[in-house]
Amino acid sequence: MRLVDIRPRRGARLVLGALPIFALLIVYLVASEARHLDNPADKLLPTFSAMADAIRAFTTDRDPNTDRILIVGDTLASLYRLGIGLAIATVTALVLGLLLGVMPLARAILGPTIAVVAVIPPVAVLPILFILLGLDEASKIALIAIGIAPFMTRDLTNFVAGLPAEQFTKAQTLGANSWQLAIRVALPQLMPRLIDALRLSMGPAWVFLITAEAVAADVGLGYRIFLVRRYFAMDIILPYVAWISLLAIAADALLLFLSRRGFPWAHGAGR
Amino acid sequence: MTALLELRNIWVEYGDKIVLERLSLELAERSFVAVVGPSGAGKSTFLRLVLGQEAPTRGQLLLDGKVMRAECGPDRGVVFQRYSVFPHLTALGNVMFGMECAQAPFTARLFGAQRRAARETAIEMLAAVGLEHNLDVYPAQMSGGMQQRLAIAQALVKHPRILLLDEPFGALDPGIRLDMHALITRLWAEHGLTIVMVTHDIGEAFKLGTRVLAFDKRRHDPHAPHRFGATVTYDLPLDRKTATLPDAPATDLSHGDPA
């Protein structure tokens, strides 16, 4: 049997997929153990018990400023910024993508501007945002929105413009006007793609969030890990990074669930 | 019979490339016109002209004696080879779409009694094409033949003056194609339709059509092939044909008058 023809079954896939993760954990354990034998005060690769202590601390201690449990306050602050930023970007991309995709005229007018805005590295405009909007929430939210909206807009525009021309012709022969074409033919088919674009944008969105929080914030997941970096507190940083990854995975799973639930026709099967 | 659609000395040119030249035709009401011809002979351009997607460079199109605007409208229905149905709507939703657009200009959705009435009409139409048991099925779950049945039902619900078929059965299995031939012949007779069908299949053209138009270039310059356009080279009325027994093509040719 050829190597390329070996297809593991579901159970085998789970086991095989878990193997590298276990291997990494064991490598970490061994390396951490070795360093602690050498220097019991090592901070670079903290032991799991040290991390457990740190986790206990930041899930029970309260932030003196907000009087919230540390990780709860950080998570709420970060998710608030991320949520508003994503919402602004999503609505902008939906409206512009639909308009530009359906109307070649709008594409001719706005397309080049969006293409130019899309190539500006968002973090490079962060100083401008700080100057214009101040160091509060607005600048962080703006960075996320500005960072991902152009990409999403271009993706959705191309998607709508790429829908088979036959569909639009057919709709016109069924009496649809431009508005009806947009909301009954283009918009529903755009929705699952919008969720896809949002899922792809989540990665960059987290990058922009943590960047903004690292530069200027007094609460937030990114703020915390950059704060404790000064004390080489790897025992806090590593669980925080794991928590951020977990949040990202959960958000992705939620979006996929919404897409499957809301738009069964886009996922092959029917209801 | 009155001429439903009249083409008066139509020319279609793209830059210095001439696609159609000196095309004059009259299509009678309730006729089934099959259009054949080699690739690049302007069959699709002809269809787009009648559909209103494209304006002629010169000449006029008259629908019911009135000059036709180069714009798609509900008086001309169409079924393409592919992508004729909306993937995000169920069979019922696809057929109701046309009625919703007409009755609800802003929301394009119907509610209450209007919706029930549209639903009834749509179900009747779906039953007429044999899809009465697939009302809530999405196109992705349908076979190619079912999708084309749906596309026909979707177009017919608007009662178009002319139904345009662009190689509608070209992607189907031979067996399914025969079923579709029977279906379209029945719908044509029952609903008194006027049909213009572009096809690559000459057998299909002679089997279904009451008139066969062959498009080709009458003149050809080997050094500048784009300088001459195509037109109707054979116009074959198949008046003697009965619905059940199509004549052999050879017999028809002898009765046709090569233009």
Model pLDDT for residues A32-56, shown as the tens digit of each residue: 999 999 998 888 899 888 899 999 9
Cβ contacts below 8 Å, chain A against chain B, sum to 93
Q: Which of B109, B142, B159 is the last residue of a domain?
A: B159
Q: Which of B159, B176, B209 is the last residue of a domain?
A: B159
Instruction: At A34, list the tokens.
Output: 């070795």
Spell out the residues 6+ positions from residue B50 whose beta carbon is closer than 8 angstroms to its own. B5, B61, B76, B162, B164, B196
Residue B248 in this model has a pLDDT that exceeds 70 = no
Distance from CA of B150 to the nearest CA of A (A): 13
Q: CA A110, A113, A116, A122 torsion: positive or negative?
A: negative
CA nearest B155: which of B92, B224, B95, B68? B95
In a domain, B195, yes or no: yes
Same domain, B70 and B165: yes
Q: Which of B159, B186, B203 is the last residue of a domain?
A: B159
What is the count of structural domains for chain B?
2
In a domain, B41, yes or no: yes
The rounded distance, in Å, linking the Cα atoms of A208 and A214 is 10
What domains are defined for chain A?
86-267 (1.10.3720.10)
Mean pLDDT of A241-260: 94
* pLDDT score, position B259: 38
Q: Which residue has tokens 């012949």?
A: B185
Distance from CA of A103 to the nearest CA of B (A): 16
CA nearest A98: which of A28, A155, A51, A164? A155
Same domain, B209 and B250: yes
Hey, how many other C-beta atoms are within 10 angstroms of the C-beta on A161? 17
Least CB-CB distance to B141: which of A169, A175, A270? A270
Residue B242, domain extent: 3-75+160-258
Structure-model confidence comparison of residues A18 and B234, the more confident one:
A18
Same domain, B15 and B99: no
Same domain, B135 and B7: no
Instruction: At A73, list the tokens.
Output: 């306050």
Same domain, B253 and B165: yes
* pLDDT score, position B40: 81
Q: Are A139 and A83 in contact (CB under 8 A)?
A: no
Residue B18 in this model has a pLDDT that exceeds 90 = no
Same domain, B98 and B50: no
* pLDDT score, position B10: 86
Instruction: At B148, list the tokens.
Output: 């084309």
* pLDDT score, position A269: 55
Same domain, B131 and B174: no
Same domain, B174 and B228: yes
Distance from CA of B76 to the nearest CA of A (A): 6
Same domain, B189 and B208: yes
> pLDDT tens across A180-238, in order?
999 999 999 999 999 999 999 999 999 999 999 999 888 999 999 999 999 889 999 99
The rounded distance, in Å, linking the Cα atoms of A251 and B228 is 61
Same domain, B7 and B19: yes
Q: Are B48 and B42 in contact (CB under 8 A)?
A: no
Same domain, B165 and B58: yes
Q: Inspect the interface and report whether the beta carbons of B101 and A184 lie closer than 8 Å.
A: yes
Same domain, B116 and B71: no
In a domain, B80, yes or no: no
Q: Inspect the interface and report whether the beta carbons of A173 and B101 lie closer than 8 Å.
A: no
Spell out the residues 6+ positions from residue B172 whose beta carbon is closer than 8 angstroms to its own. B144, B145, B148, B180
Quote the Cα angle for A192-A90-A96, to 5°.
90
